[in-house]
Amino acid sequence: MTRVACIGECMIELRQAPGGQAGGLYTRFYGGDTLNTAVYLSRLGVDVDYITALGDDALSDEMIAGWASEGIGTKRVARLPGKLPGLYLIQTDDRGERRFFHWRDSAAARSLMDLPETEDILNSLASYDIVYLSAITLSILQEDGRERLMAALKRARLLGTRFAFDTNFRARGWPDLAVARSVFSGAFETADIVLASTEDLAPLFPGESNTALLAAISSPEVVLKLAEPACILRFAGRSGEVRAEPLTKPVVDTTAAGDSFAAAYLAARLGGAEPEDAARAGHRLAGVVICYPGAIVPRYAMPLKKPVRSSTSRKASQ
């Protein structure tokens, strides 16, 4: 069976209740870019583990129980006594565009590369078909932690594991753009699959065309999501555009649009789909997710899934 590891941070999510006023009622859940992707991967039939660090508090217990209920493996979640998860608040405008406010400076996940169990976690990466992480994952780590993680990914790739990198970029997570560009460049050189967007890359490469942005990514398989509902693919020496189908419902909240796209794309590729069909699956799921509030949509809203073929191996779709 194919196995995926998602590495990153999950935080407590506060979301203003529908129709609420500033300072009014908020609902509490949890979310984080790579955790959102892990949830959608699991719902699409992929065997997925989540790798992170949490505290020993009741909210962390609640997270782990919730992940397990979604079928996500939690055996590689480190628990840190006295620590807490981070917290974020979502504010959306009348078009569904979101703005985030974070409280995460002392969150447990920031210590993931500095724990007694870190070496075991890093050695385990070679047991997965794909390891998926985002630029946010890298931004919460110190420089030596990033280097340690990237070195482990390079070792795992020698044994057949593929590395998928999502360019989810938040400027506040980086000390400056030069550091971010350097880290992105290293990730592009290592990754087998890059899931990028013009929104993420524009601050790093201002004024560059889509062609130039693609040229800056050295990975063999690239998805560049555009400002309009479409993406450009580059794979096996060819490139082309894949457009999303028109929406039939109003946009409510764009949170996790990219995370769900990544999940559907990777699940389809693991199932043997060509990149073009995988991109269509990504557009389809993202188009559902943005019509619901919050990062994780109700189970009943999920599109009919196409199960991952059990014959797919670590070398499939390479």
Provide the residue ranges of all domains of the chain, joining segments of one domain with +. 3-8+32-82+109-301
What sign has the CA pseudo-torsion 136, 44, 161, 273?
Answer: negative
Is pLDDT larger for residue 142 or for residue 237? 142
Rounded distance between C-alpha atoms, residue 269 and residue 262, angstroms: 11
Rounded distance between C-alpha atoms, residue 250 and residue 68, angstroms: 31
Q: Tell me the percentage of the chain whose pLDDT exceeds 70.
A: 91
pLDDT tens for 48-85 read: 999 999 999 999 999 999 999 999 999 999 999 999 99
Identify the pLDDT of residue 247.
Answer: 92
Rounded distance between C-alpha atoms, residue 24 and residue 84, angstroms: 25
Identify the pLDDT of residue 92.
Answer: 66
The stretch 206-233 carries a mean pLDDT of 96
Task: Supply 65's token pair.
Answer: 């129980």
The stretch 120-124 carries a mean pLDDT of 98
Rounded distance between C-alpha atoms, residue 305 and residue 318, angstroms: 23
Q: Could you say which of 33, 49, 200, 259 is catalytic?
A: 259
The secondary structure of residue 304, as a DSSP letter, is P
Task: Supply 40's token pair.
Answer: 């959608």
- Say if CB 201 and CB 169 are below 8 A apart: yes
Helices (H), the chain: 33-43, 58-69, 118-124, 135-139, 143-158, 177-190, 198-201, 210-215, 257-270, 275-289
> pTM for the complete prediction?
0.91
What is the per-residue burial (b if ≥16 Cβ within 10 Å, else e) of 274-307? Answer: ebebbbbbbbbbbbbbbbbbbbbbeeeeeeebee
Identify the pLDDT of residue 88.
Answer: 85
Task: Supply 203's token pair.
Answer: 């601050």
The stretch 186-190 carries a mean pLDDT of 98
Of 86-100, 113-127, 223-237, the one with minimum mean pLDDT is: 86-100
Helix (H) or strand (E) holding 240: strand 238-243
pLDDT at residue 309 is higher than 60: no
Q: Taking the CB of residue 197, how many other CB atoms lie within 10 A of it? A: 21
Identify the pLDDT of residue 19.
Answer: 58
**For domain 3-8+32-82+109-301, which architecture applies?**
3-Layer(aba) Sandwich (3.40)
Task: Supply 107's token pair.
Answer: 């969150």
| Close Cβ partners of 251 (under 8 Å, ≥ 6 residues apart) | 95, 96, 290, 291
Identify the pLDDT of residue 95.
Answer: 67
State how far the alpha carbon of 259 is from the alpha carbons of 23, 35, 263, 267, in Å: 29, 9, 6, 12
Identify the pLDDT of residue 20.
Answer: 52
Identify the pLDDT of residue 98.
Answer: 67
Beta strand 26-31 with 98-103: parallel, antiparallel or unpaired? unpaired
The secondary structure of residue 245, as a DSSP letter, is P
Question: What mean pLDDT is reported for the chain?
Answer: 91
- Say if CB 214 and CB 221 are below 8 A apart: no
> How far apart are the two ends of the chain, measured CA to CA in Å?
16
Active site residue 129: no
Is pLDDT larger for residue 13 or for residue 150? 150
The stretch 224-245 carries a mean pLDDT of 95
| Residue from 46, 108, 99 nearest 77 by CA | 108
Task: Supply 273's token pair.
Answer: 């789909």
